[in-house]
Chain A
Amino acid sequence: MLDEGQDFYDVTSIMAEETLIPAVVRRGVKGLGPALDPSCPGHDLPANTQLDLPLWLLPTMAGRTSAHVVLPRFYGEKMRRKLQAGAHCEDLRSRCFYFYDVAQALHAIVQQPALSHLTQLAFKGRFKELLTKAHTAAEGPALTKLKGKLSAEEAALFSAGAESMAAFERWRYSTSTAIRGPRAQSKPRLGPARPALQDIANQAAHANSRRTGTSHQ
């Protein structure tokens, strides 16, 4: 049974599950050597091979072959120190685009407190600047630079914030009564795994756009 709020057909989680995670298989796998590990010389995957597995295959492998998950570098000790020094400078986008989603999924498998600490550290260190910029910054090189560092979840939060501000300004300064073409609606794609703040920002966007809708009375 799927957990509440999880969507079997969710494109974003499908993409996040493609992230490769290093692991060591304790027991071998017959016949699938080269398929699982391109550098495998033989037909069968020998025991104690270190290889990269996609996140979606990880629970199966962890259960059956007692694969041992190696925490990826972008969740490692060095990353923790960098985040502590200045979370907002880190480029999460190129390290792991689905930084928080993957962490959440991985946490269910490995259950290391260090992992949850690290993601909290990252989010707490970053969201303030992110939301301020989303509400105030104008398009420009600085903003492009900031956006280039955001993970998928942060980017969604950012555009929710920016959209909410734009909706507010439309309402505040608009006198025109003309119908415009249908606005692209942001699809609510929030699972339980995402930080609560994203819900909130999205809600704020909703509330604002509703206000723009009903205030001409």
Chain B
Amino acid sequence: MESEAAPGSASQLDPTNLYGESDVATIKQALINEQVCPELLQYQEDLVNRLESQISHQEAIIKDLNEDPEQDLLRMIYTVELQRIKYSLRCYLRARLKKLEQHVMHCLDDPNMKDRLSDKEVKYAEDYFLLLGQHISTNVLSAMPQDFKGLLRQSSVSEANDTLARPNLDKHVFCRVLEDQGSVEVDEQGETVDFSKDDLYVVRYRPIQDLVRDSWVQLI
């Protein structure tokens, strides 16, 4: 991931392909973004699908090479590469799962967030929420007096769901600017900072939320 591929021609304005990076480099960056970012990001469905088919392709190649002892070294190299890709992919899914569990109700409650999940993640979140909710209900809530049995509301006079955790978007993150952005507002008082290509910053996540989403800035 450290090796930056040369940016593509300026006319190619699809930000995901702008740097001509391979899927392997992209999943690594997606993994790092996901590990560092306080909120759950958009699930990279196409990327994961492509990687999965590449993995099974490579597995087939390795199987063929297995038959031939002469090709031991080549098989070894392919296996190492395959394991590294699978490792990155697993880490990516795992990082997402951890955050999903942490903010499970927020992710299901907010349609915007729910859109960012894969179908399997939605199912997992629903099952997980049910499981944890039931566990807390049987052990605590069922014994609480009337008006205090709510899982999402502390009492029946609560004005809104007041027990759900939401991610802290004001967390500080390290980021690298991928493309000149001009001045970016970094706080509510309107203070701006010039984001130029290859700059490194420590900023709160909130002001750069959209830049991360659109891959103009990457988290490190």
Q: A207-B220, A214-B1 are in contact. Are A1 and B171 (CB under 8 A)?
A: no
Is B159 close to A, CB under 8 A? yes
| Interface segment, one of A2-10, A32-40, A103-111 | A2-10
The answer to whether A4 and B172 touch across the interface, beta carbons within 8 angstroms, is no
Chain A residues with CB below 8 A from B32, complex form:
210
Chain A residues with CB below 8 A from B161, complex form:
1
Q: In the complex, A8→B132 CA distance in Å?
A: 15
The answer to whether B164 and A192 touch across the interface, beta carbons within 8 angstroms, is no
Chain A 173-216 near chain B by CB (<8 Å), digits 1 or 0: 00000000000000000111000100110011011001000100
Q: In angstroms, how far is the closest chain B Cβ from the Cβ of A51?
A: 25
Is B218 close to A, CB under 8 A? no
Q: A190-B168, A196-B172, A214-B28 are in contact. List 5 more A-B contacts (CB 8 A).
A: A4-B167, A8-B162, A191-B168, A199-B171, A203-B202
Majority secondary structure, B binding face: loop
Chain B residues with CB below 8 A from A214, complex form:
1, 28
Contact residues, B164-214 vs A (CB, 8 A): 164-174, 202, 204
The residue of chain B having its C-beta at the shortest distance from the C-beta of A213 within the complex is B91
The answer to whether A203 and B172 touch across the interface, beta carbons within 8 angstroms, is yes
The answer to whether A2 and B202 touch across the interface, beta carbons within 8 angstroms, is no
The residue of chain A having its C-beta at the shortest distance from the C-beta of B103 within the complex is A7
Q: In angstroms, how far is the closest chain A Cβ from the Cβ of B209?
A: 13
Is B163 close to A, CB under 8 A? yes
Partner of A210, one of B35, B159, B166, B204: B35
Chain A 59-92 near chain B by CB (<8 Å), digits 1 or 0: 0000000000000000000000000000000000
Chain B residues with CB below 8 A from A203, complex form:
36, 172-174, 202
The answer to whether A8 and B170 touch across the interface, beta carbons within 8 angstroms, is no
Contact residues, A1-47 vs B (CB, 8 A): 1-2, 4-9
